[in-house]
Structure 1
Amino acid sequence: MNAPRKPGPKVKVKTARGRSVGQAKWLLRQLNDPYVAAAKSEGWRSRAAYKLIELDDKYKLLKPGMRIVDLGAAPGGWTQVAVKRVKSLDKGPGAGGGFVLGVDINPVDPIPGATLLLQDFLADGADQKVIDALGGKADFVFSDMAAPATGHRQTDHIRIMALCEVALDFAIRVLNPGGGFLAKVLRGGTENELLATMKRDFRTVRHVKPPASRADSAESYVIATGFRG
């Protein structure tokens, strides 16, 4: 699970076959992205898997035996990584090994070693359903969720930050003392307020951008560890 190598000669894409200029640019970026190619060859469901791999390699977030919740798990790249890192056995809580629970409002194709819960985590009682599925409280909660982009920078920022805030609120309800939280944010100012909020509930809070996060993207991640309970 090493970082992908730099790409070779660039592939060119024409705007033919009904593609708009914007669609052609997106396809060009995908075809020339070493993380996309590596994800396909290594069996990850998305290039985003490498973001979690890089963050975990650097900060040692995941350990064998942990109970993990992946909010907004689809398509499942982060869930796949968590399964390997915590050595999930998919035999239910208390069976030994780690336990990974992917939660999404949409169906997710089965992932070996993971339990998938079709659930809106914002619904009443969702926190207790997650705790019941885990057989106890979580050791780490992930959120790589992003609202559909509108193209309006301020609107997109507000939407992603709102997702992070509700994910944090959920995590606080389902985490064990000492647990951790990892979520996507966008640069834009209000993330500093979120970090200040996290510092009240967690001993250590970091704001980081893994190499797999595209350089031209405003996204970054917050890592909060040592939940005070």
Structure 2
Amino acid sequence: MYQWDFSTLWKYQTLLVNGIGYTLLFTVICVAGGLAVGLVTGLGRLSNQRFITAPLRAFVEVFRCTPVLVQLVWFYYALPVLVGWEMSAPMAAAICLSLYGGAFYSEIIRGGIISTDKGQTEAGKALGMTRYQVMKRVVLPQAFKRMVPPLMNQSIMQLKNTSLLSVLAVPDLLYQGQVIAHDTYRPLEVYTFIAVAYFAILLPVTIWAKRMEHGNAEPHEA
């Protein structure tokens, strides 16, 4: 029978802590970048000008309809050849995951806005508000409540997607685990610890997202 020995991991605690820190930092960067891209893209797709909406829709469909792992590899190996300048693995991964998340965030933002009652938009215009004022004062505050649950879920997916960074040798938690497993020949302990670490990080975030979802649903149902 296999003899479990988690004490082996103790001398690699620095690598594991650094891997967790890098994973969390990368998640924050990619979520922030994705939200920025999603906000611009989502609002742009509401335009009546086809020359604006067509390329934005193409961007969304390209990133939604291709695997994120393929995108990561393409951004790191193919994009530098096309643009003619070298790109570090963390930079390529950050750009890729931000754009990937932005494609999903944009649909969430656009869907939240168009689900708002059009009568309120017309009422705002009747009061003399500009389109910008109606969007800022009337539409977005109501749409934001509907957007929070799916935005939180997509942000959780962004954290999960960071586990793919190891294919580019980005020193996240999984990559550090691979290094330790090759050094100790204890893959069961290493990958079990990594699974537990991801679970410990994601469980509180998931519970918080569920509470926010219920908190936003109750006033709406009332």
Name the TM-score class by shorter chain: under 0.3
Structure with higher Rg: it is 2
TM-score normalised according to structure 2 size: 0.26
Which of 1 and 2 has higher RCO (CA within 8 Å, sep 6+)? 2
TM-score normalised according to structure 1 size: 0.25
More helix by share: 2
